Amino acid sequence: MEENYILQNLLRQKIIAIVRGVRKEQIQKTADAIIKGGISCLEIAIDHTSPESVEQTYEMIRCLKETFAAGICLGAGTVLSGQEVKACVEAGAEYIISPNKNPDVIRKTKEAGKISIPGALTPTEMTEAWEAGADIVKLFPAGILGLDYIKAVRGPLKHIPVSAVGGVTPGNCRDFIEAGCSSIGVGGNLVDLKKIELGDYDSLTKTALDYVRNLQRQIRM
C-alpha cells in the first residue's frame, strides 16, 4: 500500500530535486527552501568519495526524514550496491535511484518494498531494467540525448515510465513531459551549490517555483 502511494506521488508531482554535494550542516535549509518552492520529492545522492562521506549521506537522509516527516518524499541516489540499498532504506529512503541498471540493486530495493529507479541509456537497457523490476527508468543524460531521441524511444516503450535527468531547466522541463516522460529529475540547475554557500536559499525557492509553474502550465497545442 505504502509502496504504491509513493510511486503515485512521484508520478503525480513529476519532479525530483537531486541534492548532491550539499554539506550536512546545509542540508536542512536546502531541503526547506526546495519544499517551500513546491517540490517535496528530494533525492539525496550518495557521495562515494570516502567511506566517511557515504556514512554522512545516510545521516543526512535520516536527518531529513526526522525533520520533515510526512512533508517530504525522500529518496536516495547514486546507489551502487545491495548493501547501500539496505543502509538507505534503514535511514528512511522511500525510493532508490541508481546511475545504472544493477540487478542486485533493483532486487534488493523491491525486496525492501521500495520504489526502484535505475538508470538507462538505450532501449535495451531500459527494457532490461523494467524486466528486472524497475518502477520507473531514469533516462540519463536526457538533455544530451535530446527530445527527438526520447520521442523515438517512447514509441515502442511507452509502457515504461521514464524520468528525464540531465540538462533539465525551468525553460525546457515541460518539453520532456510532452515528449513522453512521466517525470524529471533536476540537480545543479536547481540545487545551486554556489548560492547555498552564500546562504542564498531564497533563490532555490524561486527556482523551484519556476519549475513547478512551468510543469503545471497547459500543454501546448
Q: For the segment 119-162, what is each residue's pLDDT rounded down to a tens digit?
A: 999 999 999 999 999 999 999 999 899 999 999 999 999 999 99
Tell me the percentage of the chain whose pLDDT exceeds 90.
93
Q: Please return the burial class of 157, using the count of CB atoms within 10 Å of its CB with bins 0-12, 13-18 and 19+.
A: middle
- Residue positions annotated with a catalytic role: 43, 138
Pinpoint the alpha helices (H) of the chain. Answer: 2-13, 27-36, 51-68, 82-91, 103-111, 123-132, 142-145, 147-154, 173-178, 193-197, 201-216
**Structural domains present in the chain:** 2-214 (3.20.20.70)
Least Cα distance to 4 among 115, 159, 138, 136 occurs for 115
Q: For 38, list phi and psi in degrees, rounded to 5.
A: 100, 5
For the question of whether the overall pTM of this predicted structure is more than 0.85, the answer is yes
